[in-house]
Amino acid sequence: MVKGSEPLTYKDAGVDIDAVTASLSKVGKLAAATHDNRVLTGLGSFGALFKPDFSDMQEPVLVSSTDGVGTKLLVARKAERYDTVGSCLVNHCINDILVMGAEPLFFMDYVAAGHFAPGLLEGIVEGFASACREQGVPLIGGESAEMPGLYAKEDFDLAGFIVGVVDRARLLLPERVREGDVLIGLRSSGLHTNGYSLAQKVLFERAGLSVDDTLPGGEVSVAEALLAVHRCYLACLRPLLRDPALHGLSHITGGGFTDNLPRVLPEGLGAIIDRDSWQVPAVFRAIAQHGPVERDEMDRTFNMGLGMILVVAAGDAERISTQLRASGEDPVRCGRIVSGEGVRYEGSAEL
Amino acid sequence: MVKGSEPLTYKDAGVDIDAVTASLSKVGKLAAATHDNRVLTGLGSFGALFKPDFSDMQEPVLVSSTDGVGTKLLVARKAERYDTVGSCLVNHCINDILVMGAEPLFFMDYVAAGHFAPGLLEGIVEGFASACREQGVPLIGGESAEMPGLYAKEDFDLAGFIVGVVDRARLLLPERVREGDVLIGLRSSGLHTNGYSLAQKVLFERAGLSVDDTLPGGEVSVAEALLAVHRCYLACLRPLLRDPALHGLSHITGGGFTDNLPRVLPEGLGAIIDRDSWQVPAVFRAIAQHGPVERDEMDRTFNMGLGMILVVAAGDAERISTQLRASGEDPVRCGRIVSGEGVRYEGSAEL
């Protein structure tokens, strides 16, 4: 039954271990640049070692999250620009544990592709490493898998994994939220990492745009608008994590305000969002108009320009907004907590 | 430029949030069955909360690892059997931190697909959950992404993330290994999760076998042989982690003995593997014969029947083997540590 007679090697099966090893060496240097003295390196290579310092905590709780970049990757591939998606993933993961009150300890990545074209893996990992450096989060390990047959040659996917910590008494739990609390929104940089299937269907299929066209109603290309790095809110929110007036944080990801705000509210409380309180950015308006996509569907799919919502005591809202402005933010007082459930919208549905 | 006029929804873009939500609810129950009182549930849903107990440790070090299942997934898809690959990933991750001396704290998963056919996601997560239950490792969170366009409809991929802990003084470091130490191999259940690109090229392409054919020289089908669950060595090795005679552990993954053993050896020491000391299982013999694949290439690609190698003090080798047999293992005294570097092979190269 043997059809070939030349001895086969692993390389013949499409996996060039030597090429991957060379790539991994570059990647290792990128990761090493994110390390600090909590990362124990050179002590073995199967697992990544991290020595945490919990000495200032009563009851440390590890808060972890895993995520992918979703179909934003398709835009990266179409635009042949791989440097932003890794940063998006790091920042997304940081924001997801930040809303529990946790600060990050370390990050790990998984990258898989049909074929690691020259520069692809390095480009992606440079994205991880640059966000990790910027936020002070060591990239302590990862897995890179070249899998011909499982992925088409140009296909690839990423997953990220973050571990952070919070002292149990400082966990941001729904029970902190009160009727009358004020919602303060922080600007997003664009779609962040959600809603890309719908966005692409509208902009590329229905509107017939290419990545290099100027975004309708905007000033940048479609690629630039869609590939903007998911913002990280760690730096501006870290000083507020011990502020008793901060009652909750909601990271506006897939599901928009409609699905994400209720996740941080206790039973019996809902939220009202005032649609007139901020100007929805051009990229969302373009999607709504060219779909068309109705406003309610937009609000349950996209962040609409506000990527993080703070729930704060009403009497402290102005003080906290001032503090956020001092951090370079342009905060929006975008709604309030009311009795009831779910999210209701006030103001004009026009975009 | 608008080509359609019916309002678009996220579902129109190929993502059915409601169907995914129903699937996630089942998956949530599978995960919940792995939880214990260290997992703080119901306290919010953005990040997963785990309260570790480090009270019996002087200097806890977190040991983490991430991995995928590789092209073993192609065999699962071909055989339409999705229940083993999740378990493989959990066990692989546990073994990877075990070799540092660490015991697992918790596991998280990432699953992505072009389309979650009914039962696919649940099947995969049942695999995660059953291995997690068996090993006492809570599955505390995960991400499931349906990404039409990024993955072909039938394509899917998994990644796993594990965090464990070891007291710094108990880290298994290369400096423990001594010349004259004995290598004890523990049986694998098959290929585990490495070498599947080559195995499939040989068995499906060159030998023309299908998943339902009986493995040449074996007693089970090709699918059963290739999809066997990656063994977890936690239960049998946990009692030995505090044994001063255990000098090292090497998880034989991609790269075989040739690449994995040197990772746990200090500079100036190498290993000799005695190829005559155990019978290589049928699945490896079939691959070598039907490639053909030369023995050296086999040894740098597959585990050849020994999935974990212990490096132990020579004088304690018999005692440790006896202890392993009492745990139900069939240990093989398969080699020794010598001065030099890398891995050399003794005995017959015949299979």
Lowest-confidence pick of A31-40, A149-158, A186-195, A319-328: A149-158
- C-alpha dihedral (B252, B255, B261, B267), degrees to nearest 10: -150
Element holding A225 (H helix, E strand): helix A222-227
Task: Note the pLDDT of residue B42.
Answer: 58
Q: How far is CA A143 from the centre of its chain?
A: 20
Nearest neighbour of B61 by CB, restricted to A40, A102, A207: A40
Q: Which residue of B has its CA nearest to A65?
A: B47
Report the distance separating Cα A44 and Cα B311, nearest Å. Answer: 15
User: Looking at per-residue confidence, does B279 or B152 come out higher?
Assistant: B279
> Taking CB atoms and an 8 Å limit, are B47 and A64 in contact across chains?
yes
Q: Does A201 touch chain B (CB under 8 A)?
A: yes
CB B328 within 8 A of CB B282: no
> Taking CB atoms and an 8 Å limit, are A297 and B7 in contact across chains?
yes
pLDDT value at A45 more than 90: no
Question: Which of A181, A184, A180 minimizes the C-alpha distance to A237?
Answer: A184
Q: How far is CA B350 from the centre of its chain?
A: 28
Report the distance separating Cα A84 and Cα A8, nearest Å. Answer: 39
- Residues of chain B contacting residue A152, judged by C-beta atoms under 8 Å apart: 152
> Taking CB atoms and an 8 Å limit, are A110 and B70 in contact across chains?
no
Residues within 8 A of A (CB atoms), B 236-255 only: 251, 255
Instruction: Compute CA distances B171 → B242, B244, B262, whole Å.
Output: 10, 11, 17
- Residues of chain A contacting residue B172, judged by C-beta atoms under 8 Å apart: 44
pLDDT value at A1 more than 50: no
B330 Cα to chain A: minimum distance (Å): 24
pLDDT value at A67 more than 70: yes
pLDDT averaged over every residue in chain B: 92
A287 Cα to chain B: minimum distance (Å): 10
> Taking CB atoms and an 8 Å limit, are A143 and B10 in contact across chains?
no
> Taking CB atoms and an 8 Å limit, are B1 and A52 in contact across chains?
no
> Taking CB atoms and an 8 Å limit, are A148 and B173 in contact across chains?
no
Report the distance separating Cα B100 and Cα B171, nearest Å. Answer: 6
A149 Cα to chain B: minimum distance (Å): 8
pLDDT value at B56 more than 50: yes
10 Å CB burial of residue A45 (0-12, 13-18, 19+) is: middle
- State whether the Cα torsion A207-A211-A213-A214 is positive or negative: positive
Report the distance separating Cα A70 and Cα B113, nearest Å. Answer: 11
10 Å CB burial of residue A42 (0-12, 13-18, 19+) is: exposed
Residues within 8 A of A (CB atoms), B 171-200 only: 171-174, 195, 197-198, 200
> Taking CB atoms and an 8 Å limit, are B50 and A73 in contact across chains?
no
Which residues are within 8 A (CB) of B31 and not within 5 positions of it... i.e. 6 or more apart? Answer: B125, B128, B129, B139, B140, B141, B142
Q: Does A97 touch chain B (CB under 8 A)?
A: yes
> Taking CB atoms and an 8 Å limit, are A68 and B141 in contact across chains?
no
Nearest neighbour of A43 by CB, restricted to B10, B151, B171: B171
> Taking CB atoms and an 8 Å limit, are B108 and A159 in contact across chains?
no
Report the distance separating Cα A172 and Cα A96, nearest Å. Answer: 12
Nearest neighbour of A47 by CB, restricted to B1, B96, B197: B96
Task: Note the pLDDT of residue B46.
Answer: 66
- Would you give the DSSP letter of residue A251? E
Q: What is the mean pLDDT of residues B44-61?
A: 87
User: Looking at per-residue confidence, does B146 or B22 come out higher?
Assistant: B146
A94 Cα to chain B: minimum distance (Å): 10
Phi, psi of A277 (to 5 degrees): -85, -10
- Residues of chain A contacting residue B152, judged by C-beta atoms under 8 Å apart: 152
10 Å CB burial of residue B53 (0-12, 13-18, 19+) is: exposed
First to last CA, chain A: 66
Cα Rg, chain A, nearest whole Å = 22
Q: Does B349 touch chain A (CB under 8 A)?
A: no
Q: Does A99 touch chain B (CB under 8 A)?
A: yes
> Taking CB atoms and an 8 Å limit, are B54 and A59 in contact across chains?
no
What value of ipTM does the predicted structure carry?
Answer: 0.91
Task: Note the pLDDT of residue A15.
Answer: 63
Residues within 8 A of B (CB atoms), A 38-77 only: 40, 43-52, 54, 59-68, 70-71, 73-74
Query: How many CA atoms, within 13 angstroms, populate the side-chain half-sphere of residue A301?
Result: 23
pLDDT averaged over every residue in chain A: 92
Dump pLDDT digits (tens) for B198-220.
999 999 999 999 999 999 999 99
Dump pLDDT digits (tens) for A124-178.
999 999 999 999 999 999 998 888 788 888 889 999 999 999 999 999 999 999 9
Task: Note the pLDDT of residue A243.
Answer: 97
> Taking CB atoms and an 8 Å limit, are A10 and B145 in contact across chains?
no
> Taking CB atoms and an 8 Å limit, are B155 and A151 in contact across chains?
yes
Q: How confident is the model at residue A104 (pLDDT cuts 50, 70, 90)?
A: very high
Highest mean pLDDT: which of A33-42, B20-29, B315-324?
B315-324
Report the distance separating Cα B99 and Cα A233, nearest Å. Answer: 37
Question: Which of B270, B282, B133, B279 minimizes the C-alpha distance to B219?
Answer: B282
Nearest neighbour of B197 by CB, restricted to A1, A44, A148: A148
Task: Note the pLDDT of residue A84.
Answer: 94
Q: How confident is the model at residue B45 (pLDDT cuts 50, 70, 90)?
A: low
Q: Does B151 touch chain A (CB under 8 A)?
A: yes
Q: Quote the percentage of chain A above a pLDDT of 70.
A: 95
Domains of chain A: 11-170 (3.30.1330.10), 174-346 (3.90.650.10)
Report the distance separating Cα B314 and Cα B325, nearest Å. Answer: 17
- Residues of chain A contacting residue B351, judged by C-beta atoms under 8 Å apart: none
pLDDT value at B11 more than 90: no
Place of tokens 């009492």: B326
Nearest neighbour of B108 by CB, restricted to A8, A157, A161: A161
Q: Does B285 touch chain A (CB under 8 A)?
A: no
> Taking CB atoms and an 8 Å limit, are B100 and A44 in contact across chains?
yes
B176 Cα to chain A: minimum distance (Å): 12
- Would you give the DSSP letter of residue B115? -
Q: What share of chain B is helix, strand, coil (3-state, %, to 5)?
A: 35, 25, 40
Nearest neighbour of A149 by CB, restricted to B10, B71, B149: B71
Task: Note the pLDDT of residue B2.
Answer: 38
Lowest-confidence pick of A7-16, A28-37, B57-66, B264-273: A7-16
pTM: 0.93
